[in-house]
Amino acid sequence: MSSAQGFGSNSPRTKLTQSQLNAILLRHQAFRKSQPGGVRANLKMRDLSHLDLSGIDLSDADLSGAKLFSARLTGANLCNANLYAADLRLANLEKADLRRADLRGACLRGAVLSEATLVEVDLRDGTLLHYDASGEMYAHEYEDSVLTSELTAATIRGADLSRAKIANAFVMQTDLTDAVLRGTKFMRANLTGSNLTGCDLTDADLTEANLSGARLSGAVMTGCAINRTNFSGATLIGAILDAAQMRSPNLQAAVLAKTLENPEDDLREMLMEHLTWIDSGGKAGKRADLSALDLSGRKLDGINLSAAILQCIALRGANLSGASMAIADLSLADMRKANLSKADLRGVNFERATLTGADLTGAQLGPVHIQTMSGHIWRANLQRARLGMALLCKADLRKANLAGANLAGADLTGADLSEADLTGADLTGAVLDGTTMDQAIVEEAIGLAG
C-alpha cells in the first residue's frame, strides 16, 4: 500500500496565489448563498501550499488531489468537501469543521486538528489516480495502486471523530488526547505508539487494529470491539473497560493495573508510613504512592490519604466514605460507583477521573488555603472529570475547576458551585435544585437553562 501523497507523482498541479484563491472563494461564497455569479469552488489538483485559508467556507468544494502542504485552515468550514487524496501534511486545521468530508487516501502527516470536528469523516483507502494531458482522470494500472490515509504524528487533541471511518489508516505516534471517538471505525488501523489518554472510544471498532505501545489511560472503552486487537505494551491503566473486555486474551500483553500480593498487610504498612510522613511534615515515613493499583470494591472508609499519589488507581465500588484525601492526586482514576460521601477532597486532583455514578453527597471539594506568605489557594481540579449520574447533593465545590467536566444527569441539589469554573462543562439533565452558582463561570456550558 502507498502512503498518500496526492494523486501521483506525475500529476501536475497549478500553483495559486492568495489573490487568485480569494477570487475563487468569493464566487464560492456567492454559490453557497445562491447569489448570481456564484460558482462552486473547484480546486482539484491545485497547489495551495502555505496559503492562508483560515475561517473560509469551502463546504462542498472539490479539493481532490489538492496540495495543501503547511496551509493555514484554522476554523475553516470544509463540511462535505471532497479532499480525496489531498496532501495536507503539516496543515493547521485547528477547530476546522470537516463533517462528512471525503478524505480517502489523504495525507495528514504532522497536521494539527486539535478541537476540529471530523464527525462521519471518511479516511479509508483511496485508489491512486492520475491526470492525462487533456485533464482526464484515470486509475493507476499497477498493483501498488492503493492510497492509505495517513494521520501519522498528527495532533488531534480534543477533536470529535464520532462515527468516522478510519479503517486501514496509518495513525502512528499521533496525539489523540481527549478526542471523541464514539462509534469510530478503526478496523485494521495502525495506531502504534499513539496517545489516546482520556479518549471516548465508546462503541468504537478496533477489530484487528494495532495499538502496540499506545497510551489509553483514562480512555472509555465500554462497548468497544477489540477482537484480535494488538495491545502489546499498550498502557491500559485507568482505562474504563467492560467486565467482558477484561476477560479478553488480547489484553494479556497490555500494561494493566496491579494488584497487591498481600492486600491487607501491604496496604496497612503503606498507610502507617503515610501517616508518619504527614505527622512529621515529610521528615519521616513515606508518602503513599498507590498509582496503578486495583483496589476496587475495598472497604476504605475513614482512611487518611491526604496528599497521596493515586494516579490511575482503580477504586470501582470502593467505600471511601469520610475519607481524608485532601490535595491527593487521583488523576485518571477509575472510581465508578465509589462511595465518597462526606469525604474531605479539598484541593484534590480529579483531572480526567471517572466518577460515573459515584456518591459524593456532602463531600468537601472546596479550596485549600496554603499556609504561606502569599496565602495561595489550592483549588480542586475536576477538569474533564466524568461525573455523569453522580450524587453531589450538598457537596462543596466552591472555586473548583470543572472545565470540560461531564455532569450529565448528576444530582447537584443544594451543592455550592460559587466561583467554580464550568467552562464547556456538560450539565445536560443535571438536577440543580437549590444549587448555589454565585459568580460561577458558565461560558460554553452545555445544558444549563437560563
Over residues 368-387, the pLDDT tens digits come to 987 655 567 899 999 999 99
The pLDDT mean for the chain works out to: 91
User: How do beta strands 368-369 and 377-378 pair?
Assistant: antiparallel
Domains of the chain from N-terminus onward: 259-450 (2.160.20.80)
Helix (H), strand (E) counts: the chain: 3, 9
Per-residue pLDDT, averaged over 7-12, amounts to: 49
Polymer length of the chain: 450
Q: Are 388 and 357 in contact (CB under 8 A)?
A: yes
Predicted pLDDT at 144: 46
Give strand pairing partners of 339. 319, 359
Q: In the structure, what pLDDT confidence band is assigned to residue 7 with cuts at 50, 70 and 90?
A: very low
Q: In the structure, what pLDDT confidence band is assigned to residue 88 with cuts at 50, 70 and 90?
A: very high
Angle in degrees, CA 279, 280, 281, rounded to 5: 95
Per-residue pLDDT, averaged over 382-411, amounts to: 97
Other CB atoms closer than 10 Å to residue 272's CB: what's the count?
13
Closest CA to 49 of 85, 83, 12, 87: 87
Predicted pLDDT at 24: 92
The DSSP secondary structure of 77-119, one letter per residue, reads B-TT-B-TT-B-TT-B-TT-B-TT-B-TT-B-TT-B-TT-B-T
Over residues 320-355, the pLDDT tens digits come to 999 999 999 999 999 999 999 999 999 999 999 999
Is residue 129 scored above 70 in pLDDT? no
Tell me the C-alpha distance between 66 and 325, whole Å. Answer: 55
Tell me the C-alpha distance between 240 and 243, whole Å. Answer: 10
Predicted pLDDT at 239: 94
Is residue 127 scored above 70 in pLDDT? no
Per-residue pLDDT, averaged over 405-414, amounts to: 98
Over residues 221-252, the pLDDT tens digits come to 999 999 999 999 999 999 999 988 989 999 99
Tell me the C-alpha distance between 254 and 237, whole Å. Answer: 9
Q: In the structure, what pLDDT confidence band is assigned to residue 4 with cuts at 50, 70 and 90?
A: very low
Predicted pLDDT at 196: 98
Is residue 128 scored above 70 in pLDDT? no
**DSSP helix/strand/coil, 425:** coil
Over residues 89-102, the pLDDT tens digits come to 999 999 999 999 99
